[in-house]
């Protein structure tokens, strides 16, 4: 199931509660996100359940590499490192899943799904048990890596429309800056001019590799 909502609409809180409820019923749950700090936060609030495993995606790939006794070391240059994180790492995870080194889960819950590369969904969907649960929580307005988002779930999207964190004024100022917002596509991704897009992508590259190196 897809759950879409802007910042402050309670996506992460719902994910946490869903993970807890499934674990309380005796189901194994895998919770993944891209951001390391977010994964640490999720671990801290779901720490009392032995049936819930929380990690950032590449941290989980590294665990898979350890199970395979394969080194998990990214190249130094950014271009090769990006290939490693985008392609090599998920391939290692898929190999570990197919060989039984990494167990399947009754449920997989993804937070900030817009941060995930399309190639990552293959191992992620492979780890779900038959008739299991699959939830992707995402915010198309926070596609900071400017990815083309194609989720493996194409129906049953549930929108969260009520901002529970910010006032209306703050929400409007955050999402409707006239200098950056040109138009909104049907998929609700924000389109910005090419100069600003290049600036954002440069900043995202720095953030992306910093996030990876801190893993």
Q: What is the per-residue pLDDT across 46-95, written as a single tens digit (0 to 9) for each?
A: 977 899 999 999 999 999 999 999 999 999 998 999 999 999 999 999 99
Check residue 58 and give its pLDDT: 97
Percent pLDDT > 90 in the chain is: 54
> 18-49: per-residue pLDDT in tens?
999 999 999 999 999 999 999 999 999 997 78
- Apex CA 1: angle with CA 162 and CA 112, to 5°? 65
Domain positions in the chain are 2-213
Check residue 167 and give its pLDDT: 52
Check residue 104 and give its pLDDT: 97
Cα–Cα nearest to 145, from 87, 93, 197:
197
> 104-126: per-residue pLDDT in tens?
999 999 999 999 999 999 999 99
Distance CA 60, CA 173 (A): 36
Mean pLDDT over 159-183 rounds to: 53
Could you say which of 1.10.240.10, 3.40.50.11810, 3.40.50.300, 1.10.10.2160 is the CATH number of the domain covering 2-213? 3.40.50.300
For 120-124, which contacts have Cβ atoms below 8 Å and span 24 or more sequence positions? 120/57, 120/90, 121/151, 121/152, 122/90, 122/94, 123/90, 123/91, 123/93, 123/94, 123/97, 124/32, 124/152
Check residue 166 and give its pLDDT: 54
Q: Is 116 left (phi over 0), alpha (psi -120 to 50) or beta?
A: beta
| Predicted structure pTM score | 0.76
């Amino acid at each position: 199931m897809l759950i879409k909502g802007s910042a402050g609409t309670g996506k992460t809180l719902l994910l946490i509660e869903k993970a807890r409820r499934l674990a309380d019923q005796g189901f194994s749950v895998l919770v993944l996100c891209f951001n390391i700090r977010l994964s640490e936060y999720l671990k801290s609030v779901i720490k009392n359940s032995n049936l819930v495993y929380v990690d950032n995606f590449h941290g989980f790939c590294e665990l898979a590499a350890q199970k395979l006794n394969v080194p998990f070391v990214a190249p130094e240059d950014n271009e090769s490192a990006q290939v490693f994180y985008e392609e090599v790492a998920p391939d290692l995870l898929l190999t570990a899943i197919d060989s039984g080194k990494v167990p399947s889960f009754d449920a997989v819950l993804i937070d900030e799904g817009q941060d995930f590369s399309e190639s990552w969904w293959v191992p992620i969907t492979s780890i779900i048990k038959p008739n299991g649960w699959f939830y992707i929580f995402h915010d198309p307005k926070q596609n900071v890596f400017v990815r083309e988002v194609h989720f493996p779930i194409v129906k049953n999207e549930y929108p969260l429309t009520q901002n529970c964190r910010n006032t209306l004024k703050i929400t409007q100022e955050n999402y409707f800056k006239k200098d950056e917002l040109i138009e909104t596509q049907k998929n609700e991704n924000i389109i910005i001019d090419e100069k600003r897009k290049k600036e954002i992508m440069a900043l995202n590259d720095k953030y992306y590799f910093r996030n990876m190196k801190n893993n």
